[in-house]
């Protein structure tokens, strides 16, 4: 057993769980040791990384804050920002790209749908009668919701 493993083994469950909330602040070896200690104690492990920094290769956890790598400061790529639900990947202004059946222009503004426990990115746009929903693969679906009451934060 290494010195680092002994140090983490001596910590309390609360200290281990607190460290697990911010795994991106540790080196890759530190993250491995903390995850191993969580498993050894039967404590819940945090979700797996949603991607890696293109410059330094550091993993980006699903609870990462900000739009750059916590280790090297490199701006994160758009796919990771979308997965984090970052505001910077949402269009700032609606884009008129559609027409109604009567020929009127329809402003479509896409917003990120937060997906907990899933490794995917979704966007939705309010349209008459409901929502258009799309994903990274370009799939498109209409979700009927005439009153636009869909709230993804409700379980």
pLDDT of 74 > 80? The answer is: yes
CA 77 from chain centre, in angstroms, equals 12
Residue given tokens 């020929």 in the structure block:
103
How many residues can be counted in the chain?
155
Categorize the per-residue pLDDT at 26 as very low, low, confident or very high, splitting at 50, 70 and 90.
confident
Q: What percent of the chain has a predicted confidence (pLDDT) above 90?
A: 17
Residue-wise pLDDT for 96-150, tens only, equals: 466 777 877 777 777 877 776 666 777 888 888 898 888 777 778 899 998 888 8
- Give the per-residue pLDDT at 53: 86
What pTM value is reported for the model? 0.45
- Give the per-residue pLDDT at 34: 93
- Give the per-residue pLDDT at 117: 66
- The three-class DSSP label of residue 138 is coil
Of residues 48, 84, 89, 47, the one with CA closest to residue 66 = 84
- Give the per-residue pLDDT at 7: 95
């Amino acid at each position: 057993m290494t010195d680092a493993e002994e140090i983490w083994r001596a910590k309390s469950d609360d200290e281990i769980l607190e460290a697990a909330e911010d795994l991106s602040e540790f080196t890759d070896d530190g993250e491995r040791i903390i995850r191993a200690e969580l498993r050894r104690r039967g404590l819940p492990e945090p979700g797996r990384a949603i991607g890696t920094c293109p410059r330094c290769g550091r993993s980006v956890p699903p609870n990462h804050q900000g739009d750059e790598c916590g280790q090297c400061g490199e701006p994160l790529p758009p796919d990771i920002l979308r997965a984090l639900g970052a505001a910077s990947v949402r269009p700032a202004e609606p884009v008129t790209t559609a027409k109604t059946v009567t020929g009127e222009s329809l402003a479509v503004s896409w917003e990120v749908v937060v997906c907990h426990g899933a490794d995917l990115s979704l966007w939705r746009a309010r349209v008459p009668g409901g929502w258009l929903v799309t994903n990274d693969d370009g799939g498109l679906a209409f979700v009927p919701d005439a009153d636009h009451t869909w709230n993804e934060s409700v379980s």
